[in-house]
Amino acid sequence: MAKAQTKDFEIMIEIGATTTASTTPLDMTDYVDIADNEAFEVHAVDLVLDPTESIASFGADVEARFQLADSNIQAFVSHSDRTSLYVTRQLLDSPSLAAYEQSSFSDLTPLIVSKTIFLRHIHDLAGQTLDYTLRIKGRIVKPSAKDYMALVLTQTGNVA
């Protein structure tokens, strides 16, 4: 069992999504100190359109896609891929001012031992950069040998 090194905390990261798919590296050490032999234990992930954006001003429906991964993905990958930690697809319906979301967080592998994670993003509203906020909730832990073994087995697909 991983031993907590910190209390739970949240990291908020502003993301500007455009109509060109891109991957943004997120160096976790920019936000929190992670020592050698420690990991970031993720408890929850959310991604929301900033309140600075007005759905009514879009004039059209907008679809946005995001994927958080622990490797530098250069294209969206299936959420069943072991690198995918979180995916969300959001539909912002301008005429009715409604927002729909489909998301999934893979809490089977919540320990992030690499110090950089990657966020792939795109939306389809031409000529606009839309501001989003990524919220990651978790804590820093010192993984045990069993935690490392479980992580290796999960990432290689050798789980019972």
pLDDT in tens, 33-85: 888 888 888 899 999 999 988 887 888 899 999 999 988 999 999 988 878 88
As a whole-number percent, the residues of the chain with pLDDT over 90 amount to 46
Q: 36 versus 101: which is more confidently predicted? A: 101
Please tell me the total number of residues recorded for the chain in this structure: 160
Alpha-carbon distance of 146 to 149, in angstroms, equals: 5
- pTM of the predicted model, to two decimals? 0.84
Q: Nearest 5 degrees, angle CA 97-CA 102-CA 107?
A: 140
Residue 158 has pLDDT above 50, yes or no: no
Residue 155 has pLDDT above 80, yes or no: no
Residue 154 has pLDDT above 80, yes or no: no
